[in-house]
Structure 1
Amino acid sequence: MKKRTKLAAALCGLGLMMTLALPAFAAGTITTETTMGEIRSDPGVQGAGIWTNSKFRDIKPLQTYYYNKQTLAEFVGSENAEASAAGLNLAVENYEAGRQVTYKLYSDEEIAADPTKEVAELNYFPAKTPNAKYALVLSGNISTRTAELKECISTAYELHEKGYAVFTMRYRVFQNASDNAPLDDIGRAVQFITEHAKVFDVQTENYALLGYSSGGHLLGLFCGRELGYQKYKVPKPGALLLAYPINDFNEARPFYRLVMDPAVCATRYYDYTISGSVDADYPPTYFWYGKNDNTLKLLIYSEQGPALEKALTESGVPHQRTVYNNAAHGIGLGYGTDAEGWLDDAAAFWEAQTAE
């Protein structure tokens, strides 16, 4: 009798262990405590085509093992965890409802001619109502690291809840970003959305461009005359919304030149500043940054937000700037910091500037 009791207990224990070992997506919901390995194995995430390796370039087995063990909250930070989980679940929900989530920006022929174009793609989050305004969202980047999951997917969910359609974007970075490739990717993205506006059920005018850090630098240039939307023959953005944008790369330029465009004399996007692209016809601009932003300090603080503020003021461009005491670089939505709620203010600014 005792042997049977021990056997039953052992089987119950084994069953409990197997239950605990089941991946989080078995329950159909991604949470902040779901591991990155479970998220990357989720058939809904895979089917939707959401890129989840973006924050780190997992090229070594030990790196992959380490980051797969991290929870979503550990991977994206507490400031963005809840919204990132909700954004992933929304993407899976759209995929399971039969909607296409991920779109390549270049044709097979274009990718065959230039393999770097393979990474350029859009993730589509439909609005709750027809003929909605849309936002195109870009994350920041540093060398081979980007932050689509942390900054883009979380923002997509929040904007979706406000009634907008949202497109998050992967663009070429680092060694793939030669010859102004990221700007070409943005231009192609807006062209693609405009050409397929009926399919996406969005307005072609009054759209917002929302960028973080170096993604904000690119979008800021895209709003100017020389490198921007007019060159790509697309409508003028209704508003430019920037979180801790890089206005001027300063010391980073020689490194960018060496890595991306060696032996090239022509100017490239990192040679330009957002402030230098501003004129009287520049789109209305909302931006914020923190006094304790060490990244902006490394790039000469006065040449970042303050220089952009001066250019917008002198050109008479409608704008709103907020400087927070406690808002470090890379915090995304910024929940739990002084910047919490900035996206509400940005959306209100967008609406006010496009009301007519």
Structure 2
Amino acid sequence: MTITADMTFGEIALLPEFAGFGEHLMLCRPSTWERMWDKPIVARMNSDTNPYEEARVLRGLNRIVELVDDGRQVAYDIWDEADCIRDPTRRNTKLFFFPGRPGAPFIIAISGGGYQSVCHQMEGFPVAPELNDAGYNVFVLSYRVRVEPLMPRPIDDLNRAVRFVLENSARFDVAKSYAVIGFSAGAHLTAEWGTDNKGFASYGCEPPKALVLCYAPIDLHESEDVSDQRFLDSVCGGAGRDLIDDFCVDQHVWEQYPPTYLWQCADDDVVSPGNLGKMVDALDAAGVHHEEIMYPEGGHALMKPHAPETDHWCLSAIEFLREYLG
């Protein structure tokens, strides 16, 4: 079976290779899933759909098909039954394994979706084979969204995912060094993992060797338009906006913050491009090594027209990762 661009979300979700986790193509509210069911898996914004992005999406999905058809387990539950009984929202989590080179480090990939959805079909699944090409083992994380209070549940899920892989490193045949890459809201979650108040240190977890932040919300005070306000409400939720500073990553960068690679587009109309500058300033102040690039155009998640070289942002990120993961 080969997944093609004209196949719908529903057709792919019903494939035997996706049995048990088809809804994780895009983990979202039921009404949204119903609307997406008959839509092609490759979003066609206009007649000029980016062929490179289409190829990335299809490659990620077909990699899952190949692994399952080869007898490999792809989807894993990170919380056991007792954990889920204590908090049933944990049942919405999942970890997807894309094996790279045996014994190589691993990378946790976290898709975005405004903490309302988890859009693996366009972010986590496509980036996994690219990172595999560089030798890295990749785990794509489905974390909790649309729960109240939201925080710190997604961070709990990231902590559990890291520990799950470390505890089963021999089973997965991966090294115990890792990095985290995130997109949009997933990049906010990734950035939180490095902070002094909500990150790996507060969980007593092994620190990541590096972070990669793709169009990350950093300073939640940057929220201005309606979509920003929805994101802010998702993060703070029932905890109240008086806690907003707790989740402004730039206020919690410290000397042990991991080396960080950042990129965004100057015409991003979902996450203010000023977020990248705020994070760079915070990293500079803490003496943390970082590299960043602001592409001139491409919008949010490269959904707008952009130069072909922008599509290859992952190659630059991999060069950065090699410096810290080997």
SS at 1:208 equivalent: strand
Which one of 268, 291, 294 corresponds to residue 293 of structure 1? 268
Alignment counterpart, residue 67 of structure 1, candidates 31, 36, 45: 36
State how far apart, in whole Å, the 1-side matches of 2:125 and 2:231 are.
Answer: 29
Q: CA deviation at 1:105?
A: 1.5
- Alignment match, 2:259: 284
Report the residue type matching 1:262 in the other structure. Answer: G
Shift of 1:56: 4.9
Relative distance call for 1:246 and 1:178 in structure 2 (3 A) is same
Q: Cα gap change, 1:32/1:278 in structure 2, threshold over 3 Å: closer, same or farther? A: same
Of 313-322 and 272-281, deviating more is 272-281
Q: Which residues of 2 match residues 109-120 of structure 1 at below 5 A?
A: 109-120=82-93
Q: Could you tell me which of 36, 55, 61 is aligned with 2:9?
A: 36
Q: Which sits farther off after the overlay, 255-264 or 242-251?
A: 255-264
Q: Using a 3 Å threshold, how does the CA distance of structure 1 residues 257 and 200 change in structure 2: closer, same or farther?
A: same
Whether 2:292 is the aligned partner of 1:321: answer yes
Secondary structure at 2:189 match in 1 = helix
Change (3 A) 1:271 1:337: farther
Deviation, 1:246, is 0.6
Shift of 1:260: 6.0
Contact in 2 for aligned 1:136/1:166 (Cα 8 Å): yes
Aligned to 2:200: 229
Unaligned runs of 5+ in 2: none
1:197 and 2:169 equivalent? yes
Encode CA deviations 1:214-257: one digit per residue, 9 max, x unaligned. Answer: 11111111112221112222221111011111102224579755
TM-aligned CA deviation for residue 296 of structure 1: 2.4
Task: Check whether the contact 2:211–2:258 (CA below 8 A) recurs between aligned residues.
Answer: yes
In structure 2, what is the equivalent of residue 80 of structure 1?
A: 53
Matched position secondary structure for 2:42:
helix
Give the AA of the match of 1:235. Answer: E
- 8 Å Cα contact 1:50/1:102 also seen in 2: no
Distance in 1 between the 2:253 and 2:124 partners?
Answer: 25
Task: Quickly say closer, same or farther: Cα 1:185–1:41, change in 2 above 3 A.
Answer: same
Instruction: Please give the secondary structure, in 2, of the residue aligned with 1:340.
Output: helix
Alignment TM-score, normalising by the size of structure 2: 0.87
Letter matched to residue 143 of structure 2: Y
| Corresponding residue to 2:238 among 262, 278, 299 | 262
Two-structure CA RMSD over aligned residues (Å): 2.7
Query: Is the CA contact (8 Å cut-off) linking 2:180 and 2:190 kept in structure 1?
Result: yes
Cα distance between partner residues in 1 of 2:65 and 2:218: 35
Once the two structures are overlaid, the 10-residue window that deviates more, 194-203 or 89-98, is 89-98
CA-CA distance at 1:43 after TM superposition? 0.8
Amino acid paired to 2:317: A
Q: Deviations over 1:262-320 (max 9, x none)?
A: 2669847x7422222212221110001111011123xxx43x11111111122221110
Task: Output the CA distance in 2 between the equivalents of 1:111 and 1:88.
Answer: 28
**Residue 187 in 1 paired to residue 176 in 2?**
no
**Partners in 2 of 1:110 and 1:55 — Cα distance?**
21
Aligned to 1:134: 106
Q: Counterpart in 2 of 1:306?
A: 277
Counterpart-to-counterpart distance in 1, 2:291 and 2:81 = 42
In 1, the alpha carbon distance for the partners of 2:234 and 2:38 equals: 35
**Which amino acid is 2:285 matched to?**
E
Aligned partner letter, 1:71: P
Tell me the residue number matched to 1:239.
Answer: 210
Contact 2:149–2:238 (8 Å) recurs in 1: no
**Residue 21 of structure 1 aligns with which residue?**
none
Gaps of 5+ in 1: 1-27
Whether contact under 8 Å (1:327, 1:338) holds in the other structure is no
> Are the structure 2 counterparts of residues 266 and 98 from structure 1 closer, same or farther at C-alpha, using a change threshold of 3 Å?
farther
**2: distance between equivalents of 1:195 and 1:259?**
29
Query: Could you say which residue in structure 1 is the equivalent of 2:19?
Result: 46
Contact map agreement 2:220 2:232 (CA 8 A) in 1: no
Of 220, 232, 238, which aligns to 1:249?
220
Q: Secondary structure at the match of 2:203?
A: coil
Change (3 A) 1:96 1:204: same
Post-superposition offset of 1:165: 0.7
* 8 A Cα contact 1:140 1:215, kept in partner: yes
Could you tell me whether the CA contact under 8 Å between 1:217 and 1:247 is conserved in 2? yes
Pair 326,132 (structure 1): closer, same or farther in 2 beyond 3 Å: same
Match of 2:64 in 1: 91
Shift of 1:330: 2.2
Larger radius of gyration: 1
CA shift in 2, pair 1:265/1:344, >3 Å: closer
Question: Does 1:172 pair with 2:141?
Answer: no
The 2-side partners of 1:275 and 1:143 are apart by 19
Q: Distance in 1 between matches of 2:323 and 2:92?
A: 35
Give the length in aligned residue pairs.
316
Percentage identity across paired residues of the two chains: 28
How far off is 1:331 after superposition? 2.7
